[in-house]
A and B are shown apart, each in its own frame.
Chain A
């Protein structure tokens, strides 16, 4: 009975997340799309909780909802004349796009069904932050360092790209 409730919450979350994702790609109003994207990010964080990835769920909320989404809202606000309240996004080539996306989905479903994954649920791994920290400064030290250098480069590059050049505008 308890596991039934857990499964019900899982599928409810998944449905909510996919509905938000539908609105992100179909909605007309860009600000509403950004809020629907927040719903999708929270849904993915709840899926991480179901998978026992507690640290990653926290990181998802902090980085995506707190960082990336804020950037997106800034992007929407700064690239539309603010007195023009019609912040809409048109759509092009809807039918070929839907056909391609449907074909990709059908292909993925066919692959998932035809492969025998032989996967066993290894159980709840417990708190993962300590193991992830040890892996990051142990086995995955090189990707970790590359990611930190990449963050620095992206920071400087983004600042340089949006800087107003002297003498122009």
Chain B
């Protein structure tokens, strides 16, 4: 079977890609997509450890809760993006610096 380390490598690669997306994309919706990549990589780790530890399903329960919270986050963040678009007519994160002191 596939060893635990390979799941961890895949998850690490997905996490790094998500971090790269968050750091470099300008569009707010695209930054949200990158955040979803990070959530998914964390979930792969949780489920993999739950498989490789004898009789522990807690990791899967936590992954389920992470999915629920990711759904909440997507809904609220997209609502904020809509409000931002209504005010400044674009969703470029660097240009939305009105609150900067």
Contacts and interface: CB of A to CB of B under 8 A. Distances in A.
B43 A24 contact: no
Interface in A109-154: 109, 112-113, 117, 119-122, 125, 128, 131-132, 135-136, 139-140, 143-144, 147, 150-151, 154
Interface in B19-70: 19-21, 23-30, 32-34, 36-37, 40, 43-44, 47-55, 57-58, 60-61, 63-65, 67-70
Interface residues of A, number: 82
Contact of A150 (B26, B36, B72): B72
Nearest to B67: A63
Contacts of B91: 79
Interface of B: 1-10, 12-21, 23-30, 32-34, 36-37, 40, 43-44, 47-55, 57-58, 60-61, 63-65, 67-76, 78-83, 85-86, 91-92, 94
Interface of A: 3, 7, 10, 14, 17-18, 21-22, 24-25, 30, 33-34, 37, 40-41, 44, 47-48, 50-53, 55-56, 59-60, 63-64, 67-68, 71-72, 74-76, 78-79, 89-94, 96-98, 100-102, 104-105, 108-109, 112-113, 117, 119-122, 125, 128, 131-132, 135-136, 139-140, 143-144, 147, 150-151, 154-155, 157-159, 161-162, 169
